[in-house]
Amino acid sequence: MDAGVGPGRNIAYYPPETQVVGIDISPAMLARAERRRLSLGAEVELHQMDLPNLAFADHYFDGAVATFLFCVLPDDLQVGALREIGRVVKSGGIIRLLEYVRPRTSLRRAIVRLWEPWVARAYGASFDRRTEEHVPEAGLELVGSRFVVDDLVKLISIRKTK
């Protein structure tokens, strides 16, 4: 499952033999993802859904990804969203999140402070979400967390244990 599929930018990177279901709350984003899906000839199902209320059975997916989704979800929605993704992923399944985080170096922190108002207005995103801290509270296990773009973008790997 690609949670918060947006305009479908991940679609090009899924192996052809992979069955992918993309969900998003925005009809406009799904229309863009559909155009991308058609242009690539990808076997991706797209559904309009709200992350807190996924219309899939428990343990339906082998794994899940979410790209820059949790940095737009307010902290009070993070645990519920993580739980819901965990609910639809099979036991032992991996959930990967790619997220913006607040940089640790002073220069980058200063630059991000300048970007923040624009990023918040344009995307509703924030660099200070505490997604990693919410993982255990959601009943999931943090497997790994590493920076993939300087100290600004993190790949967070989570395992569904039950």
CB 129 within 8 A of CB 99: yes
Mean pLDDT to the nearest integer, 97-107: 80
Reported as a single tens digit per residue, the pLDDT across 52-78 is 889 999 999 999 999 989 888 888 899
Is the predicted pLDDT of residue 7 greater than 70, yes or no? yes
Mean pLDDT to the nearest integer, 33-39: 93
CB 62 within 8 A of CB 37: no
Please name which of 143, 6, 128 lies closest in space to residue 67, comparing C-alpha atoms.
6
Please name which of 118, 54, 41 lies closest in space to residue 66, comparing C-alpha atoms.
54
Amino acid at 119: V
**pLDDT band for position 81 (cuts 50, 70, 90):** very high
- What percent of the chain shows pLDDT beyond 70? 91
CB 127 within 8 A of CB 112: yes
Confidence (pLDDT) at 60: 97
Q: Which residues pair with 141 in a beta bridge?
A: 159
DSSP helix/strand/coil, 89: strand
CB 58 within 8 A of CB 84: no
Class of the 2-159 domain?
alpha beta
Domain boundaries, the chain: 2-159
